[in-house]
Amino acid sequence: MNYELRTTNLIISNSPHLKTKMTTPYIMRHVVYALIPAAIASVFFFKYRAIFLILNCVLSSVLTEEVVLRMRKQPSTVKDVSAALTGLLLALILPPSIKWYAASLGSIFAILVGKQIFGGLGVNILNPALIGRAFLMAAYPKMLTTFISPFTIDTISSATPLALRKFSQTITPTIDLFLGNISGSLGETSAICLIIGGLYLLIRKIADWRIPLCVIFTTILISTIFYFINPINGSVFFHLFSGGLLIGVFFMATDPVTTPVTKKGRYIFGVGVAAFIMIIRYFGGLPEGTMYAILFFNALTPLINRYTKPRRFE
Amino acid sequence: MINIEEYKDPQHHIETSKFLNPKKLYLPLSQHTGKPSIACVKRGDMVEEAAQIAESSAFISTNLHAPKKGKILNIDTWFHPNLKKSEAIFMDCLDQESNYQTRGNIESLKKEELIDIIKNNGIVGLGGAAFPTYVKLSPPKEIDTFIINGCECEPYLACDYRLMKENLNEIFIGIEIINKIIQPKKIIFAIEENKRDILEKIKSLMVNKKYNLPSIEIAVLKTAYPQGGEKQLIYATTKRKVAGGKLPFDTGCLVHNVATLFAIYEAIYLNKPLIERLVSFAGDSLVSPKNVWVKIGTTLKEIFDQKILKFKDSPKKIICGGPMMGVSLNKLDYPILKGTGGFLFLNKEISEVEESPCIRCGRCLDSCPMNLMPLEYAKRIKVEEYDRLEEYNINDCMECGCCTYTCPSKIPIVQYIKVGKKYLPTSS
């Protein structure tokens, strides 16, 4: 059959005419996929609490974003999955025993102050999920530092491995840290699940490898030195697998919006975050410092970008 | 640099065909980089094939010749793929073949005479920019490295590959001529990995020692876009960098496309000016994509009217050039120019995803072959902030399109950059 050309149907646009199939929703969706192992582990360890907490945070986040966008008279962005991702991430870094209203409030704060106040997707300076958690840390410090053991229904508090190290000089066995059979935030307990998710992100080229690798190597370096100074400081694996380090490294420190765009900047960011985490863990008043380390370097990101402009081709 | 799907099938392995009998020709006076040529014929004149019909008007300009024997119909404005409209010579052609005789005593031609022949025959770079070739052959600085560009890194286009496959002998004669003119210390033949069969052919030609050439180094480069860009090619083969605002000769390099070398061979040996070229016609809207020898000035309309090409479906986009740097067209009246490497007729591959906010993922930075920060341009130009663009070296951008290709937010970065370049504050 012979087709006649209808010139009125022709699209006129600027070059290039080919574009990658990767889109922003695609990236966000795959980060959610990468979090599925950790989410499943959380349900395995913390049962219905995990399901409720995840649903609560995701729904609160998406709803907040919708309401704010209506008020700002902007088109809905539910489809770009970013609000749902923020909710999911927040749920995974909260203690399983947190009260429902606190979790909702944290999600609302994360979207409202962490993201929409700056103008929405792409222009926020700090990681919204971490902002939500930092807010709850200030609003409900008791709730945010009370953790329960896995497989328990009652709220019998149990210290996290990092708190045990800091306050009672007890080191948790590495295998428990690796599998996740420890008390801690909902999705950060199982190292293996987070590593699987992280590798997925790196292999699918959703996230850049520079930041995660720099954080991990720097952590290994620092913790080795401190382990040799005194074994009670915790081994390399203890520091890699405990607390929020892995979820922070793979899912927060790779958030494109709040981390440097330049390659050099990403190396600086990675090394800096790891150094800060270790400083807080060894010398700070808190047992864990991933959240503050990442937030601090989020704030430094515009500056890092400015001073790490790529070298001109000459 | 980016890795893109090549889309070179099937035009890659289909033998070239010819369409050299157009009825009408539209020959824009501006087919090259530089000043437009000046017509030296008038309405009603009868011209022979290869007769000069317009002459060079400046140092960077070139001559234009009649692709067929015929009558000059008019000199008026006509559609031009890059300029939208420009002054052109309209011709009515006679269906007559012309024969070209081999020029005698080529061996005795001197360097200056060779350059003159190339200049008079209107040879320009056929890789796309159509820069007058003779200018490149008389550089103000000594050239020590001559690089032959056989990369053809734009997806879909396959005319350079087909030319190398079918006319490598003539290309080698072209290399011989350039070698005689500039006498470089080193000659490098650069091709991409995806053209391995050409590599073998080059090797066997070199073993023969049929040509009066020093040994040629073959550089097999990884298949990436824009590997065939002049600056990228020089860097990949010699590790020399042509900085923003500088020209290749500043680093002692000269780059010629294989199709230009073929045209040089024709000019020197047959005294045939640049009046026809090999063009790729490709894309999923064509029944049979192929590479065709066509006369300069032939319109797409005529090619379809003569059933040289047929549509399989109605294309969403018609592109003059490659998909990365080509221009989209709104009708078939556009003529083929000296620098036109291909026309694409795309339907399925065109997806218009709406622009969304930049998420600062940095993919544009990672892909930029000139080490720029494309997202900065988009961000600033969007809010009409033009004053700090030069700090970010906006003029180094060659608009290759890598950033826009990789952008997950589908921001038309190249388009913003083009706007930004126009509004730069005039600095002293």
pLDDT, tens only, A107-154: 999 999 999 999 988 899 999 999 999 999 999 999 988 888 888 766
How high is the ipTM of this complex?
0.88
Buried b (16+ CB within 10 A) or exposed e, A102-114: bbbbbbbbbbbbb
Distance from CA of B355 to the nearest CA of A (A): 10
pLDDT at A3: 61
- Taking an 8 Å cut-off on Cβ atoms, the answer to whether A262 and B4 are in contact is no
Q: What is the band of A169 on the pLDDT scale with cuts at 50, 70, 90?
A: confident
Nearest chain B residue (CA) to A15: B325
For chains A and B, CB pairs below 8 A equal 163
Contacts of A27 in chain B (CB under 8 A): 359, 361, 408
What value does the mean pLDDT of chain A take? 91
pLDDT at A150: 83
What would the mean pLDDT of A49-53 be, rounded to a whole number? 94
Q: What is the total residue count of chain B?
A: 428
The answer to whether B62 and B37 are in contact (CB under 8 A) is yes
DSSP state of A184: S
Distance from CA of B142 to the nearest CA of A (A): 20
For the cut 70, the answer to whether the pLDDT of residue A79 exceeds it is yes
Q: CATH 3.40.50.11540 region(s) of chain B?
A: 99-351
Contacts of A124 in chain B (CB under 8 A): none
Nearest chain A residue (CA) to B393: A312
* Fold classification of B99-351 (topology level): Rossmann fold (3.40.50)
pLDDT at A132: 96
- Taking an 8 Å cut-off on Cβ atoms, the answer to whether A257 and B360 are in contact is yes
Nearest chain A residue (CA) to B353: A23
pLDDT at A154: 65
Q: Which of A18, A12, A5 is nearest to B329 (CA)?
A: A12
- Taking an 8 Å cut-off on Cβ atoms, the answer to whether B359 and A22 are in contact is no
Give the span between the Cα atoms of A133 and B254, in whole angstroms: 60
Distance from CA of B406 to the nearest CA of A (A): 6
pLDDT < 70 regions, chain B: 427-428
